[in-house]
Homo-oligomer: A and B are copies of this chain.
């Protein structure tokens, strides 16, 4: 069936994101090194604290920053000085304020497909921060709707399609996370295109069975859509 709506993930599909968390995690390890009871374990503990907090805190930089504060206290056995905690909060603030760095080819690819399809951003994370990144990206005008959600699961994708009265056969989701952008979309009977990113947060790690269309870059998306349309016709 002909595609009428394209869902696009934002973080690490339209712009760089994970690299920022990666850099700040490095900074966390550096800052906590002098106070750590087990300096080999710093990034692992931070990751564990994040996962523990996920159900209550949710995704995004503010949750990550609160988890850094807790992990700092934990790895240091309470010995971390307030000054270091302030540095961690400042790292979070820098992450929230940093400019949007689009992935290569995003502007051209979106301009090419926006003329033929309705585009919707479907992103999870912090409401205000995702809105701010969209505004900074210069891409907002290309989208029919913006969907900022707390979890990318089957009911959420179903609700989005229902709300916009879109048949699941006419929807394709494009993103870098197999766990969030691919598997739940396939599960509701819609299509998905995987564009792997250079860095993947371990929390998002999952595999698909290899049958999912996988592109090297968003540059290849207009061509994939054109050839899919030709096959359907």
Q: Which A residues fall within an 8 A CB radius of B? A: 56-59, 62-63, 65-66, 69-70, 72-73, 76, 78-83, 85-86, 89, 92-93, 96-97, 126-129, 131, 148-150
Contact = CB atoms under 8 A, between A and B. Distances in A.
A89 B73 CA distance: 11
- Copy count, this protein chain: 2
Contacts of A93: 56
7 contacts: A56-B97, A58-B129, A66-B92, A73-B83, A79-B82, A81-B82, A85-B85
A27 to B, nearest CB: 17
A50 to B, nearest CB: 13
Given A96-B56, A128-B150, A78 B78 contact: no
A78 B85 CA distance: 10
Contacts of A89: 66, 69-70
B92 A82 contact: no
Interface majority SS on A: helix, strand, loop or mixed? helix
Nearest to A92: B66
Nearest to A93: B56
B69 A85 contact: yes
Contacts of A148: 127
A126 B62 CA distance: 10
Given A57-B62, A69-B69, 6 more contacts: A57-B96, A73-B82, A73-B86, A82-B85, A85-B85, A127-B149
A31 to B, nearest CB: 13
A152 to B, nearest CB: 13
A126 B114 CA distance: 31
B66 A86 contact: no
A198 to B, nearest CB: 27
